[in-house]
A and B are shown apart, each in its own frame.
Chain A
Amino acid sequence: MSVSPAHALLNAGHAADLALGAAVLGSGGGGDTRTGAAAIAAALGAGDSVPLVPAAAVGPDAWVAGVMAVGATSVMLERLPSGDEFTAAVRALQRHAGVRLDAVLGMEGAGANALLSVLCAHWLNLPLIDADGMGRAFPRIEQTIFTAAGIRAAPLVLANSTADIMIIEAGSNASVERLARAALPALGGWAAATGYLMRGRDCAAHAITGTFSRALAIGAAIRRARLGGPAGPAGEGPIREAGGHLVFEGVVIEVWQRTSLGPGTVTLEHRGNRRRALRVELADELLLAIEDGAVAAAVPDIICALDSRRLTPVGADSITTGQELDIWRFAAPDAWYRPPGAGLVGLPAFGLAPVDWLA
């Protein structure tokens, strides 16, 4: 066993905080987290737990791989994973590569995939490394810090609930994304995926660490903020302590749906000063917030909309006019703000022209 004893154990009691925090790190995307939380509560209800170990505690020669679900999370939520998809995918990867995994880590430790990572570790009876490849949600498989570090996503194994398995070997991580995306319709809209097979030393050197801990901390902060009484300044403190910066307290006055030509555009009016307006550009995630002609937050910043009364994260696809939303910004992991990571996840990666020349 090349993994040190767990520093923490994840149990059913962590499900709610993890779901809240993972939704925040989803930056408006990443899919619904409540179903995953319910699944964790059910799976770990009998007193079971999942060891959560720091990347540094994984031995340098240990084999680790990332896990996630790819495809339409709406389809996945209609037909919940049984766990067999993930175990089948990991076994196929082990067979294909001739290795045996010592631990798993998240490919995307945010949104629904944060919770699926915990479930997957539970189903495989493996520790979960407190690290992932994104540190937030991104829409594409290759948008990981591993890609920036030259770690290959392939072989990537896709498995579905009818025991179909597809192994993708490809020349680049972008090709892996392209091929996997093309295969999804044939696989039923979504698939369990495992890839980014690497040694423990590479994981420790390159992975974004502490993502699950961060989600738990943010979730707990929001829970404390909710307990703090009616929403308002009194409730913001804990979220600020967890790294949140309140960008705007607004009400949605206009929503332009996303089209093939561009992102969706939302306009909020400030609840305290009606002359202030915030423009939010969104695709799968909230990408850009502009207040009165100045950039207030931009991807890779984690931009999160919280329902102002219940402090519930609101997904990019659930924003409607009349909603009272607080827009929060959380810093993304440092690696995304500098090359080579920045090139993978800046505005141009989402089809939006860069704004730095106007900052």
Chain B
Amino acid sequence: MRSALSARDLLASEALRDGQVVGGGAGLDATVTSVKLITEGYDWGDFAPGTGVVFDAGSERDSPTYRQHLVELIARRMSARGGRVLIVTGVGPERAPASTVRLADRLGLPVVFTARASGPSGPELTAGLLAIVHTPGIAIAQAVGTAARGLRSAGGALDRTLAVLESMLHARCAAMLPDGTVAAGQPPVVAHKHLPRHPVTVAERADDIAFAVSPVPGSGNPAALWLVAESSRGGLVWADTAATLLDMASGYVAARNAADELAAERDARYLSGLLTELFEAGDPVPGHIAERTVKAGWVLDGWHTAVYLTMPGAPPSLPLAAWARLTDILSGVLPPLIEYGDGWVTWTTSALRPSTAAHQALITGLRRAMESYRQTSGVPAVVLGVSDPASGVVRLAASVTQARQAATVAAATGGDGAVQPAEGLSLLRLLLGGYGSAAFRDDATQLLRPLLEADGGEQLLETLEAYLDSGRSPSETAARLGLHRNTVAQRIRRAERELSVSLDDPDQRFAVHLASRALRLT
């Protein structure tokens, strides 16, 4: 996938870091096949199309000869012979005369001014650029060699990895989430709205910017984390180099992420075990558990308001990027989350009972946080349940249960991003929440499947439901559905047959009734 080398790629090289394109920018993408140092008296006979020219216009200290007037003459000659870029060295810090700028623009020949004081001499510059032109692979190999050391010592830490890439590529580098949110580094100039759906490395140019993007392996499909490098100076060869380095860096970042994930999982297991032990021990908390809770940073005295986070649908699992986003958003409102049951729990603590206003402020803060989480694209839905404030360890356990029930209700009824306070939730709502859950719905569907798959299944289910709702009264059912009493009896018998149940058995009857209710809720 080696790309043709352009003047832009030369500009992106270390040797031309200080080079200024004074004119002729329209020609920057033309392919450069060779580089030639031109000195006074050069014979134009062997000048080949595709050649870039280096011309040293600097004055020698011992024989001050002015050479800048030759720039335009050379530009015209080389342009007529298919020359691609004119690099003028030794011209000091001044800008180019208007005539040079105009001629370069008119010819579409990029003219680059670079001060020799801060860079290599004409022959050195030419040698360096020749190496890039003839063997771009060598330049990439050199870059990779140098980058490997830097990336290894960065150890996959995002900020340090990006710093290494920035200095190697002379580029803006960032780590981005799929929706374009910058997770680390400098915000890119190109709107990377369309990061690839599939985790593949891309090297391209758009809007005069060369860029490369590389997915961080193991972050999901589509990838949840991307490394991006951009340069206004690079061409496609630069982008190829950048892609190579980003891929390397992605590997280090992925390794680091995996290690972090393992450590986090270990911590999570430990903490959720500790929480279970704490709740089982009750009040007073045994000394060895109390000691560990203190080390974990938990506050057990005072008034607690538990918050439970779960995901509608089972099993709950959050991709790393979503988890990072969520914990980032919630970090301003809540202490760290602890894995517990089918979700995560945490609690806020205050010495005195929180006022109604303070409790309401917590809920408002959580709603705002959920709102901004929901605006992150590509993250799965989550819901929060919030308990009433309660004091002491025993009441904390109860609060956690209450928050969990509220979250279950939120998952069943509120959907994505809902925040459900326990306050005012009736027992019925809690039960509704329970049997309205996705897991229960699945069981209900399973139970009723034979009926639903039978001929006229919908009709049978409707009749069965009305029959059970009416306390098993055929006449009331017939009246409600506008049917003959015998039709009802005949349908009920058929339903019992399809489901292989007997509605005379209280347990079986209750299960069928509950299942039909759960299905209705969807």
The yes or no verdict on A and B being binding partners is yes
A residues near B, CB below 8 A?
A: 253-254, 256, 261-263, 265, 267, 275, 277-279, 281, 288, 290, 292-295, 348, 351-355, 357-358
Q: How far is the CB of B347 from chain A (nearest CB, A)?
A: 72
The CA of A116 and the CA of B30, in the complex, are separated in Å by 59
Counting chain B CB atoms within 10 Å of each CB, the highest count among A267, A279, A293 belongs to: A293
* Contact assessment for B103 and A353 in the assembled complex, using a CB-CB cutoff below 8 Å: no
Counting chain A CB atoms within 10 Å of each CB, the highest count among B68, B69, B75, B79 belongs to: B69
The CA of A256 and the CA of B96, in the complex, are separated in Å by 10
* Contact assessment for A293 and B73 in the assembled complex, using a CB-CB cutoff below 8 Å: yes
B residues near A, CB below 8 A?
A: 40-42, 59, 64-70, 72-77, 79, 92, 97-100, 102-103, 106-107
* Contact assessment for A261 and B64 in the assembled complex, using a CB-CB cutoff below 8 Å: yes
* Contact assessment for B40 and A353 in the assembled complex, using a CB-CB cutoff below 8 Å: yes
* Contact assessment for B76 and A293 in the assembled complex, using a CB-CB cutoff below 8 Å: yes
Q: Top 5 closest A-B pairs, CB basis? A: A293-B76, A279-B99, A267-B98, A358-B73, A262-B66
Beyond known contacts A262-B59, A290-B69: 8 more, CB 8 A cutoff: A256-B97, A263-B66, A277-B98, A277-B103, A290-B99, A293-B79, A294-B76, A351-B64
Q: A267-B98, A267-B99, A290-B99 are in contact. Are A279 and B76 (CB under 8 A)?
A: no
* Contact assessment for B70 and A355 in the assembled complex, using a CB-CB cutoff below 8 Å: yes
* CB closest chain-A residue, reference B106: A275
* CB closest chain-B residue, reference A279: B99
* Contact assessment for A352 and B69 in the assembled complex, using a CB-CB cutoff below 8 Å: yes
Q: Which of the residues A256, A278, A352, A358 comes within 8 Å of B66, measured between beta carbons?
A: A352
* Contact assessment for B98 and A357 in the assembled complex, using a CB-CB cutoff below 8 Å: no
Residues in B with CB closer than 8 Å to A253 are 98
* Contact assessment for B97 and A254 in the assembled complex, using a CB-CB cutoff below 8 Å: yes
Residues in B with CB closer than 8 Å to A279 are 69, 72, 97, 99-100
The CA of A190 and the CA of B67, in the complex, are separated in Å by 32
* CB closest chain-A residue, reference B41: A357
The CA of A254 and the CA of B65, in the complex, are separated in Å by 23
Residues in B with CB closer than 8 Å to A275 are 102, 106
The CA of A260 and the CA of B41, in the complex, are separated in Å by 25
Q: How far is the CB of B459 from chain A (nearest CB, A)?
A: 84
Q: How far is the CB of A339 from chain B (nearest CB, A)?
A: 18
* Contact assessment for A357 and B40 in the assembled complex, using a CB-CB cutoff below 8 Å: yes
A-B contact pairs, 5 of them (CB 8 A): A261-B59, A267-B98, A290-B69, A290-B99, A293-B75
Q: Which of the residues A261, A262, A278, A354 comes within 8 Å of B99, measured between beta carbons?
A: A278
Residues in A with CB closer than 8 Å to B97 are 254, 256, 265, 267, 279
Residues in A with CB closer than 8 Å to B59 are 261-262
The CA of A293 and the CA of B102, in the complex, are separated in Å by 10
* CB closest chain-B residue, reference A268: B99
Residues in A with CB closer than 8 Å to B102 are 267, 275, 277
* Contact assessment for A355 and B73 in the assembled complex, using a CB-CB cutoff below 8 Å: yes
* Contact assessment for B103 and A293 in the assembled complex, using a CB-CB cutoff below 8 Å: yes
* Contact assessment for B67 and A353 in the assembled complex, using a CB-CB cutoff below 8 Å: yes
* Contact assessment for A355 and B69 in the assembled complex, using a CB-CB cutoff below 8 Å: yes
* Contact assessment for B77 and A353 in the assembled complex, using a CB-CB cutoff below 8 Å: no
Residues in A with CB closer than 8 Å to B98 are 253-254, 267, 277
The CA of A277 and the CA of B105, in the complex, are separated in Å by 12
Q: A254-B98, A256-B97, A357-B42 are in contact. Are A351 and B65 (CB under 8 A)?
A: yes
The CA of A293 and the CA of B70, in the complex, are separated in Å by 9
